Each structure stands twice: as structure tokens, then as C-alpha cells.
């Protein structure tokens, strides 16, 4: 695996952004809307329920979950750019391997999601007073788990589109909405019905938000939950890479890549 080839995937995305400023605005535009909306909602909740710190717990969860979603979208958008431009076949006609292509997607997603994260943290801190600085480097392991999980979901989404065609991209966009109820982003996992809780425990974000919620509320923090979340996230990434590789081999063996078109959904 060569870094130069991986960075070539990233460089292509940079050229696309330079040539079309409209691609830059979504990096921070939509996150600003989310933070403003949820910021005023949490401020109102603090006014009607002064005994609970909704601002830190709820708005902080919004920032972290949006970061995970941005990572997911960063991976899929890099893939979609090749699909929409009919460039996917050219990509794999080059010496670029599947691992290098996925690595380039990961690096590209890392850069774009970092822009959104900085914008969200600055806005939440300066406008609404969320004390992210008080937690310091403690937040980094939690961000890492969310980053890995977002990467895994993005790769799986790209594999779905590769297998079933560009029309299947509509299966990708709802992924965050489907996962969020199980991940315990805005409420404890204990709130969920009994049949949903085992599914929640199989998802790395649930451990992140449970641990962060405990820290914000001043409760003891168990490092084992973070280790479990990290192990699950790494397993998800490995499984996602395996799935994408298998789907790619199937597409090459059956000639699906050569027949790629907007109508391919069989």
C-alpha cells in the first residue's frame, strides 16, 4: 500500500473543491444550522428545567453525533464523486488497489469532518457556552471511536452502492437516522425497550454517549466501556473493509463495473 496513491484520491477531492466552491459550503454550512437550532432548543430546555444541564449534555451530543455523520458522508461522497462522473471504472483500471482507494477515502473524510468539527465546536463554545475546553484531551478517545464507526458505516454504504448501482445511494442517506435511536445519542440506553438494548450494546456510539453522559453528570466513568466501544469500532472497520473487497471482486468478476449506470439496481 503506497501513501502516494492514497493521497492521489485526496488530491482529486481537493481539486474538485477548488473548482467548485459549492462543494465547500456543505462542510460547515449544515452543521451551523444544526448547532443553532439545537442550541436554542437546549437553551429553552434549561429555562423550563433549571435543575438539568441540557446545554452541555444535549448540545454536546449533537456536536459529537454530527461529527460521526460527517465522517460517514465524507467517505460516501468521495465514492459518489467517482460514480456520478463515471470515473469508477477508470479508478480501478489504474494500479490503485482497493485498500489504497479506501485509505484515500478515509483520509479525505478525516480532513472534511475535521473542518465541520472545528466549526461546530467554535460555534457551540462561543455562542452557547458549551465548555468543551473543560474536558480537554479526554474527548479525543471518544472522537476516535465515533470516527472509526463513521468510517465503517461509510464503507458499507459505498459497498451497497457498488453492489446495487447508483440508485441505491438512497439507502445510504438514512443510515444515521436508522442508527441514532439505538446509539443512545440523546438519552440513556436504559430508556430503550428490552428488545432494542442488545442492538444498542452492539454499537460503538452507545458506549461513547453513555460514558460522556456520565462524565457531564458527574458520575463515575468506567474505562472498560470505552475499551469495548473501541474494540467494536475496530471490528466494524475490519468487517466493512472485508465487505467492500468482496463486493468489488464480485463486481469485477461479473462485469458489473463495466455496466455501471444510473439504472443498475439488479
Q: How buried is residue 24: exposed, middle or buried, by Cβ count under 10 Å (0-12/13-18/19+)? A: middle
pLDDT > 70? residue 104: yes
pLDDT, averaged across the chain: 84
DSSP string, 119-153: HHHHHHHHTT---GGGTGGGHHHHHHHHHHHHHHH
55, 129 in Cβ contact below 8 A?
Answer: yes
pLDDT tens string 184-220: 888 889 899 999 999 999 999 999 998 888 887 777 7
Given pLDDT bands bounded at 50, 70 and 90, which one contains residue 6? confident
Q: What is d(CA 170, CA 265) in angstroms, rounded to the nearest whole number?
A: 12
Given pLDDT bands bounded at 50, 70 and 90, which one contains residue 264? very low
- Top-confidence residue, 168 or 181: 181
pLDDT tens string 130-146: 877 766 677 888 899 99
DSSP designation for 263: T
Say how far residue 127 (Cα) sits from the centre of its chain.
Answer: 25
Cell of residue 148, nine digits: 472509526
DSSP designation for 217: T
Cell of residue 251, nine digits: 463486481
pLDDT > 90? residue 223: no
Q: Which of 76-80, 147-151, 175-179 has the lowest mean pLDDT?
A: 76-80
155, 75 in Cβ contact below 8 A?
Answer: yes
Amino acid at each position: 500500500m503506497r501513501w502516494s496513491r492514497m493521497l492521489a484520491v485526496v488530491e482529486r477531492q481537493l481539486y474538485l473543491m477548488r473548482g467548485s466552491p459549492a462543494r465547500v459550503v456543505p462542510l460547515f454550512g449544515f452543521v451551523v444550522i444544526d448547532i443553532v437550532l439545537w442550541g436554542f432548543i437546549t437553551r429553552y430546555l434549561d429555562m423550563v428545567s433549571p435543575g438539568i444541564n441540557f446545554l452541555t449534555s444535549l448540545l454536546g451530543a449533537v456536536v459529537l453525533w454530527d461529527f460521526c455523520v460527517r465522517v460517514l458522508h465524507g467517505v460516501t461522497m468521495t465514492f459518489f464523486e467517482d460514480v456520478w462522473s463515471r470515473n469508477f471504472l477508470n479508478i480501478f483500471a489504474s494500479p490503485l488497489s482497493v485498500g489504497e482507494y479506501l485509505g484515500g477515502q478515509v483520509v479525505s473524510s478525516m480532513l472534511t469532518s475535521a473542518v465541520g468539527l472545528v466549526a461546530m465546536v467554535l460555534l457551540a463554545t462561543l455562542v452557547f457556552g458549551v465548555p468543551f475546553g473543560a474536558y480537554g484531551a479526554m474527548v479525543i478517545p471518544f472522537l476516535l471511536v465515533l470516527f472509526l464507526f463513521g468510517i465503517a458505516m461509510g464503507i458499507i454504504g459505498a459497498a451497497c452502492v457498488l453492489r446495487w448501482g447508483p440508485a441505491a445511494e438512497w439507502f445510504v442517506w438514512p443510515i444515521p437516522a436508522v442508527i441514532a435511536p439505538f446509539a443512545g445519542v440523546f438519552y440513556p440506553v436504559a430508556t430503550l425497550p428490552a428488545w432494542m438494548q442488545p442492538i444498542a450494546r452492539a454499537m460503538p456510539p452507545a458506549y461513547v454517549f453513555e460514558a460522556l453522559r456520565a462524565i457531564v453528570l458527574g458520575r463515575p466513568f468506567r474505562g472498560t466501556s470505552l475499551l469495548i466501544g473501541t474494540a467494536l469500532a475496530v471490528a466494524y472497520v475490519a468487517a466493512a473493509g472485508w465487505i467492500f473487497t468482496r463486493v468489488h471482486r464480485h463486481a469485477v468478476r461479473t462485469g458489473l463495473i463495466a455496466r455501471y449506470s444510473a439504472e443498475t439496481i439488479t
